[in-house]
Every structure is written in C-alpha cells, then in structure tokens.
Amino acid sequence: MSDDSQTLTSPAPGAGADRDQQEAVANLRRLIDVARGSRKPLIHLQHNPDPDALGSAAALQALLQRLIGAEATLAYTGRVGRVENRAMLRHLNIKIKPAYKIDYDEHDLILLVDTHPGAGTCRLPEGVVPDVVVDHHPSVHEMEGVAFPYYDPDFGSTSTMVGALFVENGIPMDRRVATALTYGIRTDTMDLSRGTSPVDEKIFREVYGASDKQILSRIERARVPQEYFVTLERGLRHAQVTDFALTTWLGEIGHSDSVAEIADLLFRLEGLRWVMVSGFSGNTLFCSLRALAGKDIRAGKVAREISDGHGGGHDTFAAAQVPMADPDQDPFEAYNAVRERFLKAVRAKKSLTRPLTVPPDARTTLS
C-alpha cells in the first residue's frame, strides 16, 4: 500500500488520527474492565518469541502494573534463539519463564500476545482460553470465549498495538518499555518498510523518541557465535536459484530463527521474487518464506499449502513447521519434497535452475 493511496482514501487528514485515538481509549477501557481485580495475571507469548512478542509482552506487563498494580508473569514456549533477541532480554531485563514451569490454574487472568488461539504459533496448554488476545497476525480462527480480543491485522506489529494504548491515552512509559517497543516494531516491520499503517509510523516516532539508543545499538550489534557462520556457509552452498525463486537447505539448526535470519539475508539477491530457507531440528522441518510484494502474492497461503496447514503468515513473509512423522525419514528428502511443492506453488520454471555460488559438492580452494 503506497502513501498516495493512503491520502486518497482518508476522509480528512485529522479524521484518521482521531479515530485511532478513540479506538485506543475504548480498548484501554475494555482492558481495564477485563483485568480489574486480577492479582496474578499471566502473559503468554508466541511460540519461539520474537522481538515483537517480547517487546509487546514487556510493555503490557508495565501497563498492567500501572493499571491494576499487579505484576504479570511472562510465559513462553520454544526458544529465544537469535542472539539479538537474547541481548534484548538481557539489556532490557525482561524476565520470561518457560511455560512448563507455570501452573495456569493459579493465574486469574491470561493474556496472549503476538499470536491467537488456533494459530500455529500458539502453544497455550490444552483447554486454556485466554481472557485477552493482543495480536496483529491475520486469522482464520474465531476468538471464541475471549473476553477482550484486541485483534487487528492492520497494525504492523503487536508492539504498535500495545504502544498505542500508552501513547493515545497519554500514559507515560519508561525508557526500558519504549526501547523494547522500538525494537519490536523495527524488527516486525523491517524498519517500517513492510505491512505498516500510519498508526505504526506515529507510535514508532513516539517510542523511538523515548528509547535508549545505546541499548538499541547493543542489541542490534550483538555478537554471534561461530555456529552462525557455519550455518550460513551451508546455506550459501546449498542455495539454488530457480527462475525467480531461491531455495536452500541449512541442515540441522540450533534454533528455528536461523531459517528466517538466512532468508532475510539471501532475499537481497537481485531479481528474486521468492525465497524459501529450510532446516531441521528434532523431527521438525522449519521453513521461512519471503516474497516480493505484488498482485496475488500470498506467502502465508503458500506456506500453508506446502506444509499441509502447518504454516502461515503475512503476504510477503511467512513460515512453516512441518512435522516429520516417520523418525527414519531423511530430513533432506523431506526438504526436497517441500521444495518441489514450493516451486510448483510459486510457478518457478525448474529448468531454469543454477547454484547461487558453487554446486553443493564443490571443492573450493583459498588461492
């Protein structure tokens, strides 16, 4: 969506902003109504939480503290893999607890952030229905039983949604929360370049202005372990360019964020319209998809198709986590099967395939 179409469809310059504020006031009211009286709130994060999940959860925790004076516990499943994300936890003192250590019955208020019931990234224990859902991911599921579904795919990030509750209601936020939200918005929207609305721009300006630039820099430039380069080398070596689509195989990965990390990097290749990067951990095949925005480009739909429903996401970026049911299945064969389906789904001509750098079995010399 271009800026031009925005100004053309907006009724008047100020009207949209007023509406955003009215919505934020109403949403805060609903949050207070649902949260009032809670002594032990719990915020459950998206599986393998990313900076948007971590930032929005930390901010929601601070907001609840202010509104009802109770300290919410942050619970997560999966892993925080990427070094930047671990640096974010450390530098911003965000404390998260593994969900298996949590007794969900002990908590009188359950809030779900950056995912929603029914989504592949939601790992709430069986039977637990959240009271509040804060999420911006497109959904095909009904939020049944959720007292306050604060759900809107027009937002570029969940961090923007929580940020709006602060900013539009004039609630002050401290530097730590502003920094967490800044990093959440930045990473989820690729520096406001994908899937954003004017609200994201506005809220980002506010939180960035109040953020700690030193800490932001420390998070963004976090040093990586040697393993990162080993994985990267495998990704480069196995990369094949088929027509306008690049696919590659990372083999066994230490954490599921690797596929997204390498996908972002390889997507910079000129002429590309699609990228799919895969790797495996345990008996799960992880795939990360990137697509160039365009008419009928639906990366989320492709991710769902190639994984028999084990994937989803946005139009230009999506992911799939394919279970490999048979323990004897060769992960590379599983990848090849998914790759075939992917190339078919995006209609890339297989005859136009070449290695990105060298053939996978090439011997290279340093001379």
Distant-in-sequence, close-in-space partners of 35: CB < 8 Å, separation ≥ 6? 41, 64, 67, 68, 109, 131, 132
> Residue 158 or residue 196: which is nearer to Mn ion going by CB?
158
Q: Taking contact as CB under 5 A, which single stretch among the options 35-43, 63-71, 95-103, 186-194 is the one that binds Mn ion?
A: 186-194
Instruction: Quickly count: other Cβ atoms within 10 Å of residue 170's Cβ.
Output: 9
Stretch of residues binding Mn ion (CB under 5 A), selected from 111-119, 217-225, 245-253, 287-295: 111-119
Using CB under 5 A as the binding rule, the residues of this chain from 191 to 210 that contact Mn ion are: none
SS3 state at 67 = helix
Q: Per-residue x/- mask for Mn ion, residues 49 to 88, rule CB under 5 A?
A: ---x------------------------------------
Contacts of 284 (CB under 8 A, 6+ apart): 256, 321, 322, 323, 324
CA distance 278 to 249: 5
Question: Stretches 12-20, 107-115, 265-273, 330-338: which one binds Mn ion (CB under 5 A)?
Answer: 107-115
Considering beta carbons, is residue 31 or 134 the nearer one to Mn ion? 134
Query: How many residues of this chain bind Mn ion (CB under 5 A)?
Result: 4
- Kindly state the smallest distance separating residue 18's Cβ from Mn ion, in Å: 26
Measured CA to CA, the distance from residue 206 to residue 200 in angstroms comes to 10
CB of 189 to Mn ion, least distance (A): 9
Is the CB of 190 or the CB of 356 nearer to Mn ion? 190
Taking the complex as a whole, how short is the minimal distance between the CB of residue 356 and Mn ion, in angstroms?
29
For the sheet containing 97-98, what is the strand order? Answer: 97-98, 73-76, 41-45, 109-113, 132-135, 148-151
Distance CA 52, CA 158 (A): 6
* Min dist. Cβ of residue 318 to Mn ion (A): 13
Closer by beta carbon to Mn ion, 20 or else 188 = 188
Q: Please identify, using beta-carbon distances, which residue of 52 and 206 lies nearer to Mn ion.
A: 52
User: What does residue 284 show for φ and ψ, rounded to 5 degrees?
Assistant: -120, 135
**CA 85 from centroid of its chain's CA atoms:** 12
Q: How far is the CB of 184 from Mn ion (least distance, A)?
A: 7
Q: Name beta bridge partners: 132.
A: 111, 148
Site for Mn ion in 33-52 (CB under 5 A): 52
The CB-nearest residue to Mn ion is 52
Distance between CA atoms of residues 237 and 192, nearest Å:
31
Q: Are β-strands 240-242 and 353-355 bridged in parallel, bridged antiparallel, or unpaired?
A: antiparallel
Nearer to Mn ion, 121 or 307 (CB): 121
Assess contact for 58 and 93: CB atoms under 8 A.
no
What count of other Cβ atoms lies within 10 Å of the Cβ of residue 9? 9
CB of 162 to Mn ion, least distance (A): 11
* Under rule CB under 5 A, residue 188 binds Mn ion: yes
Closer to Mn ion by Cβ: residue 71 or 220: 220
Residue 154-183 contact track with Mn ion, rule CB under 5 A, x = bound:
----x-------------------------
What DSSP string describes 3-45?
A: HHHHHHHSSSHHHHHHHHHHHHHHHHHHHHHHHTT-SSEEEEE
Q: Which of 41, 92, 109, 114 binds Mn ion (CB under 5 A)?
A: 114
In the complex with Mn ion, the residue whose CB is nearer, 299 or 334, is 299
Closest separation in Å from C-beta 188 to Mn ion? 4
Report the residue number, 84 or 188, with the smaller CB distance to Mn ion.
Answer: 188
The residues of the shown chain that bind Mn ion, judged by CB under 5 A, are 52, 114, 158, 188
